[in-house]
């Protein structure tokens, strides 16, 4: 929470902070840097996960817990799943963020809809320029030097 207070308005970021801890030891931290970078994915939780992954030298953060000043948005929650953290602890609910202009309710609403009903048009095309859409996956599976994900 202190990182969120400290980052409020600093370097173009919003009032959000996050740390990643393993066994009670902080291994990564981040603050919101969306407008300061400019990078729409530079949310505090994602910055903290990136920092922890760099510190630990791995993209798999099993055993880690993400602590956040506010309830993670859907993107940040997805990043927590992809990082395979053990848990997430947050202070303020998303409704507190919404009350001051950081409203992600539309994302929750959109994700609950069928893809065809969403505002963002997403189309599936099977392949581009004559290349089968599954070709990259076949190449990855056949690469004996691949790093398991």
Judge whether 26 and 2 are in contact, CB under 8 Å. Answer: no
CA distances from 46 to 58, 95, 106, 122 (A): 15, 20, 20, 24
Torsion-angle region of residue 142: left (phi > 0), alpha (psi -120 to 50) or beta?
alpha
Chain-centroid distance of CA 136 in Å reads: 24
Residue ranges with strand state E in 46-132: 64-70, 87-92
Considering 45, 47, 110, 144, which one is annotated as catalytic? Answer: 45
**DSSP-derived 3-state class of residue 88:** strand
d(CA 52, CA 74): 20
Whether 71 is catalytic: no
Active site residues: 45
């Amino acid at each position: 929470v202190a990182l969120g207070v400290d980052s409020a308005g600093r370097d173009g970021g919003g009032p959000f902070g996050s740390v990643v801890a393993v066994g009670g030891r902080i291994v990564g931290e981040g603050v919101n840097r969306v407008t300061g970078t400019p990078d729409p994915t530079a949310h505090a939780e994602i910055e903290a996960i990136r920092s922890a992954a760099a510190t630990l030298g791995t993209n798999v953060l099993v055993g880690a817990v993400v602590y956040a000043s506010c309830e993670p948005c859907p993107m940040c929650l997805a990043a927590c799943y992809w990082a395979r953290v053990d848990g997430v602890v947050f202070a303020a609910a998303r409704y507190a963020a919404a009350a001051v202009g950081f409203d992600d309710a539309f994302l929750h609403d959109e994700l609950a809809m069928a893809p065809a009903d969403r505002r963002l048009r997403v189309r599936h095309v099977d392949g581009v320029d004559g290349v089968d859409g599954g070709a990259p996956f076949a190449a990855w599976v056949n690469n004996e030097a691949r790093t398991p994900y």
